[in-house]
Chains A and B, each alone.
Chain A
């Protein structure tokens, strides 16, 4: 790791970290502030939900509509879109661009002519992305906890909340590693932001389809979302070893494969 490169990268990505953190935090807070109104109108909500097509709730990771009326269930349903989808988009956009931008901005010809090994470049940049993901997760988890404490009407499982947040963090780590891996496979120097966003949305869509359609449930295993446990109201809700192994194992495999490929990558300008 090179400290000079790390600190420059960290500073240059600071604004986007700030914007994404503010947007996601604001969305979480704004949505949770509606929880009281949501509870007051539960009969109208139930009537509205009853006319929705089967599976529409699944899109927000809800298996039982009653879950929405507990504060943690309500938080979790919104967390799916804000953190599991939006946060993952941030993770893949940041990670897929951090190495590639040196090529399409033509700064690689300078950076790689300075006394740095490819591994130093790779790990300095990867560390910036992982740190950004840690920061956004800590802040949004803090904001989520604060809103749960403010808007709760009854006790909820704080442990379940932190387990959900940990799953979210694992998912983001996976998408960071996937973004880094994708970026080292790209030969022509061009941004792959759209591809990254598309991939997150497709993987989420695949997961939803597999939940709705029983005959296609197997297809869900293609998506990392399938390995998340979102059933926060289950009293036995915990971190599953298989999920932990899946996310950590796959992330390590992707990131070290990316590093090995980057060490031998031809830089086209």
Chain B
């Protein structure tokens, strides 16, 4: 069994009395594109900052490519690229100057060809002051600096914020290509559709705890169903005794829609003695599945 790209075991980070993350455990295999989703403030950035040794864990451990994130941080960072959630803040520098400056931190980057290649791909202007760039263009600079040294692991935190759809597509295409060449991607986002497009597996974090680590396909195929029922008589519309009903929307006194996580047999037997005019059972969208875990 190969060494995992990321191996987090019981990781906890508290900020005094405030919650950070609690007992987070997950494993990202080498060569995987792994999604990390959760609402704002769920603990995604805290987890990433512990991985990058900006924060020290209060408990548990984290290893990247078999190396301890606190003790072997420099070696890890030589093999890791990072796109922070904030767009490039080096506003006093020019685009080329900043990227050359970043590249000098990596001994393996010997020529400037990679900078030129990535600048062309993302259509970044040469010698433009970073302060004059839009958020999207500053985000592109952040992305480019993370890829200059051909990292084995790329950690991205909300990378698509500010990028236009064309650039998002180009970025995803690049990630897929780099992944084929062996790069592992840890993709943190609160936008499920981004994760869905790229990742094979996903961890859902909420209030500092991992609530699910699942394959995207399995998530989609879970027992959750989206049900719409139209009763023939309004006295039949009470389904409160049925367990597994969530997100109930009353459309009228005879019609309702809900997400159902129970057994379909049980639902059918519950409905068989009532007058049902119409029923539809659909696969819920991934967004709806996601919200199911959140709530």
Interface residues of A in 82-109 (CB under 8 A from B): 105-109
What CA separation (Å) do A106 and B89 show in the bound complex? 7
**In this assembly, does A31 line the interface, its C-beta being within 8 Å of a C-beta of chain B?**
no
A114 touches B92 (CB 8 A): no
Question: Can you list, as one digit per residue, whether each of B61-92 has a CB less than 8 Å from chain A (1) or not (0)?
Answer: 00000000000011101101010101011101
What CA separation (Å) do A130 and B19 show in the bound complex? 39
B74 touches A106 (CB 8 A): no
- Of A8, A110, A117, the contact of B145 (CB 8 Å cutoff): A110
- Of B55, B74, B105, B106, the contact of A266 (CB 8 Å cutoff): B55
Which A residues are in CB contact (< 8 Å) with B54?
108-109, 112-113, 266-267, 269
**In this assembly, does A12 line the interface, its C-beta being within 8 Å of a C-beta of chain B?**
yes
What CA separation (Å) do A105 and B89 show in the bound complex? 7
B77 touches A114 (CB 8 A): yes
B77 touches A110 (CB 8 A): no
Among A8, A105, A110, max chain B CB count under 10 A is at A110
Which B residues are in CB contact (< 8 Å) with A105?
89
CB distance from B214 to the nearest CB of A (A): 28
What CA separation (Å) do A8 and B54 show in the bound complex? 21
A113 touches B52 (CB 8 A): yes
Which B residues are in CB contact (< 8 Å) with A108?
54
What CA separation (Å) do A266 and B20 show in the bound complex? 13
CB distance from A216 to the nearest CB of B (A): 39
Which A residues are in CB contact (< 8 Å) with B52?
112-113
Count how many pairs of residues, one from A and one from B, have CB atoms less than 8 Å apart in the complex.
Answer: 60
7 contacts between A and B (CB under 8 A): A8-B101, A110-B82, A110-B89, A110-B102, A116-B74, A116-B77, A266-B54
Give the residue name and chain of the A residue nearest to B91 (CB): A105
- Of A110, A114, A116, the contact of B90 (CB 8 Å cutoff): A110
Chain B interface residue count, Cβ-Cβ cutoff 8 angstroms = 26
Which A residues are in CB contact (< 8 Å) with B53?
112
Question: Can you list, as one digit per residue, whether each of A1-14 has a CB less than 8 Å from chain B (1) or not (0)?
Answer: 01010001000100
Given contacts A110-B145, A112-B54, A267-B49, contact A117 B74 (CB under 8 A): yes
Given contacts A113-B77, A267-B49, A267-B54, contact A4 B90 (CB under 8 A): no
In terms of DSSP, what is the predominant structure of the interface of chain A?
A: loop
- Of B49, B75, B105, B145, the contact of A4 (CB 8 Å cutoff): B105
A115 touches B106 (CB 8 A): yes
Give the residue name and chain of the B residue nearest to A110 (CB): B84
Given contacts A4-B101, A109-B54, A266-B54, contact A115 B89 (CB under 8 A): no
Chain A interface residue count, Cβ-Cβ cutoff 8 angstroms = 20
Given contacts A109-B84, A110-B145, contact A12 B104 (CB under 8 A): no
What CA separation (Å) do A8 and B82 show in the bound complex? 21
Which A residues are in CB contact (< 8 Å) with B73?
117
A116 touches B84 (CB 8 A): no
**In this assembly, does A236 line the interface, its C-beta being within 8 Å of a C-beta of chain B?**
no
Chain B residues in the interface with A (C-beta under 8 A): 49, 52-56, 73-75, 77-78, 80, 82, 84, 86, 88-90, 92, 101-102, 104-106, 142, 145
Give the residue name and chain of the B residue nearest to A103 (CB): B54
Interface residues of A in 2-51 (CB under 8 A from B): 2, 4, 8, 12
Which A residues are in CB contact (< 8 Å) with B102?
110, 114
A264 touches B77 (CB 8 A): no
Which B residues are in CB contact (< 8 Å) with A116?
74, 77, 105
What CA separation (Å) do A2 and B106 show in the bound complex? 12
Question: Can you list, as one digit per residue, whether each of A124-154 has a CB less than 8 Å from chain B (1) or not (0)?
Answer: 0000000000000000000000000000000
What CA separation (Å) do A113 and B77 show in the bound complex? 6
Knowing that A113-B82, A269-B54, A269-B86 are A-B contacts, what are 20 other residue pairs whose CB atoms are under 8 Å apart, sorted by A's residue number?
A2-B105, A109-B54, A109-B84, A110-B90, A110-B142, A112-B52, A113-B77, A114-B106, A115-B75, A115-B77, A115-B78, A115-B106, A116-B74, A116-B77, A116-B105, A117-B73, A117-B74, A266-B56, A267-B49, A269-B49
Which A residues are in CB contact (< 8 Å) with B49?
109, 267, 269
Give the residue name and chain of the A residue nearest to B103 (CB): A4
What CA separation (Å) do A133 and B105 show in the bound complex? 27
Which B residues are in CB contact (< 8 Å) with A2?
105
CB distance from A109 to the nearest CB of B (A): 4
CB distance from B267 to the nearest CB of A (A): 48
What CA separation (Å) do A107 and B53 show in the bound complex? 15
